[in-house]
Amino acid sequence: MKFQVKGRLITLIITLFCISACIPSKEYSYFQRDVKKIDSSLTFNNYTHHIGENDILSILVTSVSPEASSYFNPPFVKDNSSDTEVQKVIQGYLVDSNGEISIPFLGKVKVKGLTLSETQDLLKKELEKYLVSPSIQVRLENFKIIILGEVARPGVYYMSNENVSITEALAMAGDMTVYGKRTNILVVRESETGKPEYGMLDITRPEIFSSSYYFLHPNDIVYVNARKTKISSGDMFFRLAPVIVSIGTLLTLILIRAKVI
């Protein structure tokens, strides 16, 4: 009897491990083509932000004289929130309807249409009238994207740089769930005319790198569609197999302590 229980238990555990190991993973994988067959001519379609109305710019001015530089910097406010939190307090220089920001001593400065790098150069040139060897850092503070659908943590995410890819955004949201359709990711973007544009991404194909939607823009909405059959037998095994294996292991330990095995 003792050996029969032992044999059945071992068979059960081996079966459970095989079930968990044999779950098809192709539906959950990214970039499924052989890397050796990927076209080497594919290039990233990098995004460079051009400042527009209602953008909020963080501008930090430093020079050989910290006291003199302080006149051009807003009061420092400690912010304990992370870049990804929805309740982020945004402070900085607001670009008004004329495309201008108002800076102490400099007055109104036209920045609409400029890149962040071009804005830095412009401000440095203006500040050289007041400061010795000024250094300027300009960041976009209201760069946010919205991630919805079949991801682990849907929500609003604030970005700390202007080159954020779809893969980075999905990673920030905890990756797609097992129900997420890798071949059908929707990106909704506001065009220059104010009308929405729609782009579909297939993250299983390396050609995604050259898509104009691979790098996200401020206020983009990313929606991960669900597969038609949201719950299949494979998914159920995928979700339950680790639990079943854990239960089997626990039963083994209990039986060992009871000296059945």
Average pLDDT over residues 120-125: 96
Would you state the pLDDT for residue 46? 81
At the top level of CATH, which class does the domain 31-46+144-226 belong to?
A: alpha beta
Bridge-based pairing of strands 135-140 and 155-158 is unpaired
Would you state the pLDDT for residue 193? 83
Out of 3.30.1950.10, 3.90.1150.10, 3.20.20.150, 2.40.220.10, the CATH code matching 56-140 is 3.30.1950.10
Distance CA 187, CA 222 (A): 5
Distance CA 48, CA 67 (A): 33
Burial 133-166 (b: 16+ CB within 10 A, else e): ebebebbbbbbbbbbebbbeebeebbbeebebbb
Distance CA 244, CA 105 (A): 69
Task: Note the pLDDT tens digit of each residue in 181-228.
Answer: 999 999 999 988 889 999 999 998 888 888 999 999 999 999 999 987
Average pLDDT over residues 95-102: 96
- Other beta carbons less than 10 A from residue 207's beta carbon: 13
Distance CA 186, CA 226 (A): 11
pLDDT at position 55 over 50 = yes
pLDDT at position 93 over 70 = yes
pLDDT at position 78 over 50 = no
Average pLDDT over residues 147-154: 96
**Residue 5, amino acid:** V
Check residues 246 and 188 and name the one with the higher pLDDT: 188
3-state class of 37 per DSSP? helix
Strands (DSSP E) along the chain, which ranges? 56-62, 93-94, 100-103, 107-110, 135-140, 144-149, 155-158, 180-190, 196-201, 221-226
Distance CA 153, CA 170 (A): 9
pLDDT band at 87 (very low <50, low <70, confident <90, very high): very low
**Residue 119, amino acid:** T
3-state class of 156 per DSSP? strand
pLDDT at position 111 over 80 = yes
